[in-house]
Structure 1
Amino acid sequence: MLLTMRDDEETGRITLAQVAQQAGVSISTVSKVLNGRQDVAAPTRVKVERLLETHAYRRTTRSSREAPLIEIVFHELESIWAMELIRGVENVAKANQAGVILTESGTRHSPSPDWIEGVLQRRPIGVVLVFSALPQTVKEQLRARSIPFVIIDPAGDPDPDVPSVGSANWNGGLAATRHLVELGHRRIGIITGPEDMLCSLARLDGYRSAMSMAGLETDPALIQYGDFHVEGGYERAMEMLSLPRRPTAIFAGSDLQALGVLEAARVNGLRVPHDLSVVGYDDVPVAKWSSPALTTVHQPLRQMAEEAAQMLLRLRAGESSATRLELGTSLVVRKSTAAPQEGADT
Structure 2
Amino acid sequence: MDITPLAKPPAAQSKPLLSDIARTTGFSLATVSKVLNGRADVSSQTRQIITQALNDAGYSKHGRSKTSSSTLIEVVFQDFKTVWALEVLRGVVHECSQHNLSVVTSEIGHGPTSITDWIDRVAQRGIMGAILVFSELSQTEERKLQFHHIPYVIFDPSGDPKPTKLCVQADNWTGGLLATRHLLTLGHRRIGIITGPDDMLCSRARLDGYTTALAEEGILIDPALITEGDFTTPGGYAQAMELLLNPERPTAIFAGSDLQAMGVYEAARQCGLRIPDDLSVVGFDDVQTAAFLGPPLTTVRQPLQDMAVEATRMIIETNKDSTFQKQVILPTTLVVRNSTAAPPQPE
What band does the TM-score fall into relative to the shorter chain?
Answer: 0.7 to 0.9
The answer to whether structure 1 residue 114 and structure 2 residue 117 are counterparts is yes
Post-superposition shift, 1:141? Answer: 2.2
> Counterpart of 1:143 in structure 2: which amino acid?
Q
Q: How many angstroms apart in 1 are the aligned matches of 2:136 and 2:305?
A: 21
> Counterpart of 2:105 in structure 1: which amino acid?
L
**Is the CA contact 1:71–1:126 (under 8 Å) kept in the aligned structure 2?**
yes
The answer to whether structure 1 residue 142 and structure 2 residue 136 are counterparts is no
Post-superposition shift, 1:293? Answer: 0.3
Aligned-residue Cα RMSD (Å) equals: 3.3
Residues 44 and 310 (structure 1 numbering): CA distance in 2 closer, same or farther, change over 3 Å? closer
After superposition, residues 44-123 of structure 1 pair within 5 angstroms as 45-46=37-38, 50-51=47-48, 62=65, 67-107=70-110, 111-123=114-126
Post-superposition shift, 1:322? Answer: 1.9
Write out per-residue CA displacement over residues 62-90 of structure 1, whole angstroms, 9 at most, x where no aligned residue: 49996421111111100111001001111
Q: How many angstroms apart in 2 are the aligned matches of 1:72 and 1:324?
A: 18
Residues 19 and 42 (structure 1 numbering): CA distance in 2 closer, same or farther, change over 3 Å? closer
Post-superposition shift, 1:122? Answer: 1.9
In structure 2, runs of 5+ residues without a counterpart are: 1-11
Q: How many angstroms apart in 2 are the aligned matches of 1:206 and 1:81?
A: 22
Write out per-residue CA displacement over residues 26-64 of structure 1, whole angstroms, 9 at most, x where no aligned residue: 9xx9xxxxxxxxxx8445543699438987x786x9499
Residues 3 and 320 (structure 1 numbering): CA distance in 2 closer, same or farther, change over 3 Å? farther
**Is the CA contact 1:109–1:155 (under 8 Å) kept in the aligned structure 2?**
no
TM-score by length of 2: 0.84
**Is the CA contact 1:108–1:130 (under 8 Å) kept in the aligned structure 2?**
no
Worse-superposed segment, 64-73 or 314-323: 64-73
Worse-superposed segment, 139-148 or 158-167: 139-148
The DSSP-based 3-state class of the residue aligned with 1:124 is coil
> Counterpart of 1:288 in structure 2: which amino acid?
A
| Larger of the two Rg values belongs to structure | 2
The DSSP-based 3-state class of the residue aligned with 2:116 is coil
Q: How many angstroms apart in 2 are the aligned matches of 1:109 and 1:328?
A: 34
**Is the CA contact 2:68–2:128 (under 8 Å) kept in the aligned structure 1?**
no
**Is the CA contact 2:77–2:108 (under 8 Å) kept in the aligned structure 1?**
yes
**What is the aligned counterpart of 1:205 among 205, 208, 211?**
208
**Is the CA contact 2:35–2:47 (under 8 Å) kept in the aligned structure 1?**
no
**What is the aligned counterpart of 1:290 among 277, 290, 293?**
293
Partner of 2:157: 154
Write out per-residue CA displacement over residues 158-208 of structure 1, whole angstroms, 9 at most, x where no aligned residue: 223211000000000000000000000000000011111110110000000
Post-superposition shift, 1:129? Answer: 0.2
Residues 314 and 65 (structure 1 numbering): CA distance in 2 closer, same or farther, change over 3 Å? closer
Residues 209 and 18 (structure 1 numbering): CA distance in 2 closer, same or farther, change over 3 Å? same
Residues 217 and 123 (structure 1 numbering): CA distance in 2 closer, same or farther, change over 3 Å? same
Q: What fraction of aligned residue pairs are identical, expressed as a percent?
A: 47
Worse-superposed segment, 250-259 or 98-107: 98-107
Count of residue pairs brought into register by the alignment: 322
Q: How many angstroms apart in 2 are the aligned matches of 1:239 and 1:144?
A: 48
**Is the CA contact 2:177–2:213 (under 8 Å) kept in the aligned structure 1?**
yes
The answer to whether structure 1 residue 166 and structure 2 residue 169 are counterparts is yes
**Is the CA contact 2:68–2:127 (under 8 Å) kept in the aligned structure 1?**
no
The answer to whether structure 1 residue 181 and structure 2 residue 178 are counterparts is no
TM-score by length of 1: 0.84
Q: How many angstroms apart in 1 are the aligned matches of 2:36 and 2:67?
A: 26
Partner of 1:218: 221
> Counterpart of 1:70 in structure 2: which amino acid?
I
Q: How many angstroms apart in 2 are the aligned matches of 1:82 and 1:89?
A: 11
Q: How many angstroms apart in 2 are the aligned matches of 1:281 and 1:2?
A: 58
In structure 1, runs of 5+ residues without a counterpart are: 5-16, 30-39
Residues 335 and 326 (structure 1 numbering): CA distance in 2 closer, same or farther, change over 3 Å? same
The DSSP-based 3-state class of the residue aligned with 1:84 is helix
Q: How many angstroms apart in 2 are the aligned matches of 1:246 and 1:224?
A: 13
Partner of 2:308: 305
> Counterpart of 1:210 in structure 2: which amino acid?
A
Runs of 4+ in structure 1 displaced over 6 angstroms?
1-4, 17-20, 52-55
**Is the CA contact 1:108–1:131 (under 8 Å) kept in the aligned structure 2?**
no
**Is the CA contact 1:191–1:225 (under 8 Å) kept in the aligned structure 2?**
yes
